[in-house]
Amino acid sequence: MIVSNLPSDASEESLTQLFSEYGTVRSVYVASDVFTGRCRGFGTVEMEGHEARAAVAGLDGKMYEGKSLKVRFDDGRGKGKKRR
């Protein structure tokens, strides 16, 4: 899944904790600025299919540290799409 509109202090640990409410998180990546080390606002989370669908349904559009999260499935072309 692609997660965007993350706050600048988001970390792999904080995303793992957030998404683990919906199931087992296999991997997490948070894009960070080379110079500051702060989150660039997006990342990826890998989970099992049914757990990932639950996470998209539960977290897309939800407020997280003052930001409205955007959670989408990766369609393989670098752009995400929402599945139901």
CATH code, 34: 3.30.70.330
- Of the pLDDT bands very low, low, confident and very high (cuts 50, 70, 90), residue 80 is low
5: phi then psi, degrees, rounded to nearest 5 = 65, 40
**Nearest CA among 37, 65, 34 for reference residue 3:** 65
Q: Return the sign of the alpha-carbon dihedral for residues 30, 34, 37, 40.
A: negative
State the average pLDDT over residues 28-46: 96
* 15 belongs to a structural domain: yes
- Of the pLDDT bands very low, low, confident and very high (cuts 50, 70, 90), residue 74 is confident
Domain that holds residue 62: 2-76
Query: What is the rounded CA–CA span in Å between residue 17 and residue 10?
Result: 11
Look at 83 and 32; give whichever has higher pLDDT: 32
- Model-level pTM? 0.84
CA terminus-to-terminus distance, the chain = 13
* 83 belongs to a structural domain: no
* 28 belongs to a structural domain: yes
* 68 belongs to a structural domain: yes
3-state secondary structure of 8: coil
How many domains would you assign to the chain? 1
pLDDT (0 to 100) of residue 50? 93
Q: Which range, of 7-11, 39-43, 76-80, averages the lowest pLDDT?
A: 76-80
